Amino acid sequence: MINWTTIKKSIIGLAPMDGITDAAYRELIDKYSKPDVLFTEFVAVEGITHGVTSLFKCFLRHKTETPIIAQLFGSDLKAFYKATFIAAELGFDGIDINMGCPDNNIMKKGGGGALIGKPDHAKNIIKTVKEAVNDWYEGKSMEDAQVAPKIIEWIKSIASPSFSKRNKLPVTVKTRTGLDYSVTEFWISQLLEASPEAITLHGRTLLQMYKGLADWVEIEKASKLVRQTSTIFLGNGDVKTMAQAKKRIEEYDLDGILVGRGTLGNPWFFSDKVPTLKERFAAMVEHSDLYLKYRPELKLYPMRKHLAWYCTGFEGSRAVRDRLMKVVTIEDLKSILSSLQT
């Protein structure tokens, strides 16, 4: 379990990224550079409690000492309650609630970033997840929480006995600065009323999506507010190097930073290592092998984007990337890489 309040300061962790921070990515990055904390991709509470099997794959995980936080999104309180039991039984080290996703489909259903416009409901979600964490800690079973029998069966088939120790899991929130414009101080004060153990703030509004630059002045405003409480505060947005992460922590008086896109194609991100081309090619194969270990049914189609991210900055890299966009099997990948001189 992660204890956000006693964890060393200057936390630098891997941000959640849907379609990217899956089990293979987390395992690889953990092995290569050990971030302080790892987040899963976000998982829809309504979907997972209705037994949408593809979502269970997001909750596959490797064994590690590094805390892994399960991120949930949605709007329905009952589904949040049950999904918290599912994540707890699977041995995750904390539950993070997504209140910042700008995707229209998610927002229309009242989840993700839409919660910024509904602070009372947002606080109820935090309260519900905390209740679920508490009930699970005190010994309630998945049956008590009315998790569907087929889901219980699946969990029992994959959960390791070492995961069965019941800890009081911390409940955290990841969010943005506002809907159309920043309302950081109002919104963060609302969240603080529900006392989440940590808040991560991505310094953009929902309207901005990923455009422009993250606004670190807004992050600083939030940091000043959060400082007056026992909640841990992490900044997020556009950090590209470890040196930059450390500087921002100092500059804006943060407990830490989460990094997302800066890690793409660079599982060494959280160390000081600059890999050689040969090492990058080896990581491409290792990453692909891991991917197939967790998702053999998908072949290497979803890995193509990762392969392109690894494959930059050398003469002829563009042509190699074009070839990589056609790989389906590990043999295809190895054959392309072996034809290159490193």
Q: Which residues of the shown chain bind ligand FMN in the complex (CB under 6 A)?
A: 15-20, 41-42, 71, 98, 100-101, 174, 202, 236-239, 259-262
Rg (CA), the chain: 20
Q: Determine the residue with CB nearest ligand FMN.
A: 260
Q: Minimum CB separation from ligand FMN for residue 308, in Å?
A: 14
CB 267 within 8 A of CB 32: yes
Q: Minimum CB separation from ligand FMN for residue 313, in Å?
A: 19
Q: Minimum CB separation from ligand FMN for residue 57, in Å?
A: 14
Residue 260: closest CA among 26, 44, 86: 26
Residue 324: closest CA among 265, 279, 266: 265
- The label of the residue with tokens 């039984």 reads 89
- Rank residues 216 and 281 by Cβ distance to ligand FMN and give the closer one: 216
- Rank residues 239 and 308 by Cβ distance to ligand FMN and give the closer one: 239
- Rank residues 112 and 119 by Cβ distance to ligand FMN and give the closer one: 112
Instruction: Count CB neighbours of 64 within 10 A.
Output: 14
- Rank residues 254 and 337 by Cβ distance to ligand FMN and give the closer one: 254
Q: Minimum CB separation from ligand FMN for residue 318, in Å?
A: 22
Q: Minimum CB separation from ligand FMN for residue 333, in Å?
A: 22
CB 147 within 8 A of CB 86: yes
Q: Report CA dihedral (175, 179, 184, 190) to the nearest 10 degrees.
A: -70
CA–CA–CA angle 263, 67, 114 (5° rounding): 70
Q: Which DSSP category does 8 fall into? A: P
Q: What does the DSSP assignment read for 267-318? A: TTTTSS----HHHHHHHHHHHHHHHHHH-GGGTTGGGHHHHHHHS-SSTTHH
Q: Minimum CB separation from ligand FMN for residue 112, in Å?
A: 8
Q: Minimum CB separation from ligand FMN for residue 149, in Å?
A: 28
User: Strand ranges (DSSP E) for the chain?
Assistant: 11-14, 38-44, 68-73, 94-99, 171-178, 198-205, 232-236, 256-259
List Cβ neighbours of 225 (8 Å cut-off, separation of 6 or more).
185, 188, 189, 192
For the chain, the residue count is: 342
- Rank residues 113 and 119 by Cβ distance to ligand FMN and give the closer one: 113
- Rank residues 114 and 259 by Cβ distance to ligand FMN and give the closer one: 259
- Rank residues 47 and 337 by Cβ distance to ligand FMN and give the closer one: 47
- Rank residues 133 and 258 by Cβ distance to ligand FMN and give the closer one: 258
Q: Minimum CB separation from ligand FMN for residue 340, in Å?
A: 28
Cα distances (Å, whole numbers) of residue 6 to 13, 195, 222, 230, 231 = 16, 16, 21, 11, 11
